[in-house]
Structure 1
């Protein structure tokens, strides 16, 4: 049984994984919350509780650079990495913007799928 402290939002945003300020992997945010996220990636050279950095861009914001967050590894499996933001200094506004973007992306995809089914 899962015991989540905050609701997860499905994702689909590309992300870069950094270790010691060096890019080491690419991935895709599969789901995220204010407390952490799961990154779909084949990168496995990590250990539990290791701190990593994550970089991403919002596609519609061409005037802005990338955003970064720090996280520590709490889970690994064949499909990716589970990371937690708890106890690490991060900009809460960036996390909130990321969650809002993923929610918007998810609801837009749901609406598009619903419209396609209605037209069939």
Structure 2
């Protein structure tokens, strides 16, 4: 039972990246405009790269192949996304509170990913031994 729960947890953890990454690939406008507004170069290419990274690394976590490396990549991605997209420390009022909640959620996701890095993909994975 514990092995199945571990696999379900791995899938649930990756789901947000699969969903978000797919959204970036089919509708890149919003993130691209935000990145451009922050002065980053090639915002459309960065948006597509983010989408590919989220979908690709998320899929590796789901199937449990190279899950530790994929989870580490998602940790780096999540930290960068939090810094760029949820910079509550530069905001005030409701906007700051909303982004602080998103940043805290991302911190929790990073925690789950780090547990995956430490524990590996588990028994029900392509990497099982």
Band of TM-score, shorter chain: 0.3 to 0.5
Which protein has greater RCO, CA pairs closer than 8 Å, 6+ apart?
A: 2
> Given the two structures, how large is their TM-score scaled by the length of structure 2?
0.31
Larger proportion of helix: 2
Larger proportion of strand: 1
> Given the two structures, how large is their TM-score scaled by the length of structure 1?
0.33
